[in-house]
Amino acid sequence: MGKQRVLSGIQPTGDLHLGNYLGAIRNWVEIQRDYDSFLFMADLHAMTVPHDPAALAESTYKVAATYLACGIDLDCATIFVQSHVPAHTDLSWLLTCITPLNWLYDMVQYREKAIKQGENVGAGLLCYPVLQAADILLYEPDKVPVGEDQKQHLELTRDIAARLNYQFGKENQPILKLPDPMIRKEGARVMSLTDGTRKMSKSDPSELSRINLLDSPEEIQHKIKRCKTDPIRGLTFDDPERPECNNLLTLYTILSNQTKEAVAEECREMGWGQFKPLLTETAIAALKPIQDKYHAIMADKGYLESVLRQGREQAEAIANVTLAKVKSALGYSTPL
């Protein structure tokens, strides 16, 4: 039997941060030997919020270089750009037509982002989870490794696939395969440095709220120095009254590759004045090899282009077969 397939993607909007790394990319690297991986830059999703045309293509390349710098291996993985594979938008339209509107209004991310956009909410923001469903279903993956915040979108993806199968499939012959989410506990929800109850996000207006993967040692030091803490001495995990403390200890645990028990013991009696320099040093050391590799890859555009060209070919070979299957089930004629 062949390997199972995984698929995931990140929007190329803004710089990638520790949440993207620990919640998503690091997990892709860890499992890549056991799966056939399809990883893409979700550039069509970038337009669901106001975007900068002058920066989009470059940001897309940067995310691809970041995947490689974090350790994605092309012997196990295909890296491609969403907009290079037209089947994504084709399938998205077909799925849009069978998706009840109220399913989309229920999406938490839509509601949160719609509030931020005020009266100017584009239909794309509402329909974006359908595009995401198309991104996933085209590749018939077994698992979709993402952070906790994407769970609802994956449930919607399964619901849409099940509805299409029910309405247009034959019994015992589903058209689309229902994928399972793959959400690791540790790192699944990295919180903001300025508010331990909100997730670290590219769209947070405050740069101090996140550590970007490409931050310089000085920036990392500055952000950790300024991050929110509490006046209590002795650091502990899982205290609901101390969300910042839990978040910073968790970051330290993952970045220093230690167990939670070891860190709980090490930091039990520490004060922030002792812990912050430790976390700073650990974060700088963990990011340094990624940054070095990233800059080397970005300096060789030709290489990156060849990776994406090959990625597109491999992605299309699979996506087009699924699209044809769905179109045929929906009664579309084949092009002559």
Interaction site with ligand TRP (CB under 6 A)? 7-11, 42, 45, 132, 135-136, 144, 146, 150, 153
Window contacting ligand ADP (CB under 6 A); options: 141-149, 226-234, 243-251, 253-261:
141-149
Please pick, among 151, 202, 260, 327, the residue that the annotation labels catalytic: 202
Please pick, among 143, 199, 223, 276, the residue that the annotation labels catalytic: 199
Q: Is 132 among the residues that bind ligand ADP (CB under 6 A)? A: no
Q: Is 203 among the residues that bind ligand ADP (CB under 6 A)? A: yes
Cβ atoms of 175 and 332 closer than 8 Å: no
What residue 201 binds from ligand ADP, ligand TRP, none (CB within 5 to 8 A, per partner kind)?
Answer: ligand ADP
Q: Which of residues 182-201 bind ligand ADP (CB under 6 A)?
A: 188-190, 199-201
Residues in a beta bridge with 212: 17
200 vs 319, beta carbon nearer ligand ADP: 200
Window contacting ligand ADP (CB under 6 A); options: 19-27, 96-104, 127-135, 165-173:
19-27
Distance CA 164, CA 161 (A): 5
100-107's contacts with Cβ under 8 Å and 24+ in sequence apart are 103/156, 103/159, 103/160, 104/129, 104/130, 107/152, 107/153, 107/156
156 φ/ψ sector (left φ>0, alpha ψ -120 to 50, else beta): alpha
Cβ atoms of 212 and 16 closer than 8 Å: yes
- Clarify whether 113 is annotated catalytic: yes
47 φ/ψ sector (left φ>0, alpha ψ -120 to 50, else beta): alpha
Q: What angle do CA 185, 191, 192 make, to 5 degrees?
A: 165
- Considering only 20, 82, 157, 212, the residue that binds ligand ADP (CB under 6 A) is 20
- Clarify whether 199 is annotated catalytic: yes
What residue 144 binds from ligand TRP, ligand ADP, none (CB within 5 to 8 A, per partner kind)?
Answer: ligand TRP
The label of the residue with tokens 């769905």 reads 326
Q: Is the dihedral of CA 101, 102, 103, 105 positive or negative?
A: positive
201 vs 320, beta carbon nearer ligand ADP: 201
Cite the active site residues.
113, 199, 202
Binding site for ligand ADP (CB under 6 A): 10-11, 19-20, 23-24, 146-147, 149-150, 188-190, 199-203
